[in-house]
Amino acid sequence: MRRALAALPLILILSTAAVGQTSGVQLTTPASAKEGEGIAKVLADFAAAWNSHDAKAFSMVFAEDADFTNVRGVSAQGRSEVEKFHAPRFTTIFKDTHLTITGSKIRFIKPDVAAVDATWEMTGMTDIPKRQGLLNFVMTREGGTWLIAVMHNMDLPPPS
């Protein structure tokens, strides 16, 4: 068990680096490598769907009854509403954007519930050269699959 936990950071870095979308996964509570990998996969799939500007794929990392709130405080409830919210934005304001998850911190509240903070950077917007922010998730494991139950997003100020 100790060996598996000791190898977890390397496993997570290698599995997410292969996708090229996430890095720096940090577990703040004990968990199995499998659980950490499951959450890292959600983050990688989230970024990959964003970068392909695919609202359907983006919505699939959310639970059916998910709550989503963007940086402006606008909300969508449910997977289908998350998809409807993003579809027009992926063809307009975010059509040329690229999102990178730059780090994450996972705290397991229960074996099937995790609080996840993920920092991000976005390029490709015409009016802002580079944005950065923080995604705050509550993820739940349903039927062996981790999904986003609650998401809040916020912009962070540029470094001074």
d(CA 101, CA 118): 7
Looking at the DSSP bridge assignments, the partners of residue 119 are: 103, 134
CATH architecture of 2-155: Roll (3.10)
- What's the gap between Cα 60 and its chain centre? 12
Q: Model pTM?
A: 0.81
Q: What is the pLDDT of residue 142?
A: 94
SS3 helix, strand, coil % of the chain, rounded to 5? 35, 40, 30
Q: What is the pLDDT of residue 16?
A: 37
**pLDDT digits (tens), the chain, 160 positions:** 444 434 333 333 333 333 334 445 665 555 677 889 999 999 999 999 999 999 999 999 999 999 999 999 999 999 999 999 999 999 999 999 999 999 999 999 999 999 999 999 999 998 888 999 999 999 999 999 999 999 999 999 987 7
Contacts of 88 (CB under 8 A, 6+ apart): none
Q: What is the pLDDT of residue 11?
A: 34
> CA dist 76 to 26, 50, 72, 79, 98, Å?
28, 17, 12, 8, 22
Q: What is the pLDDT of residue 108?
A: 93
H-helix segments, the chain: 2-19, 33-51, 55-59, 79-90
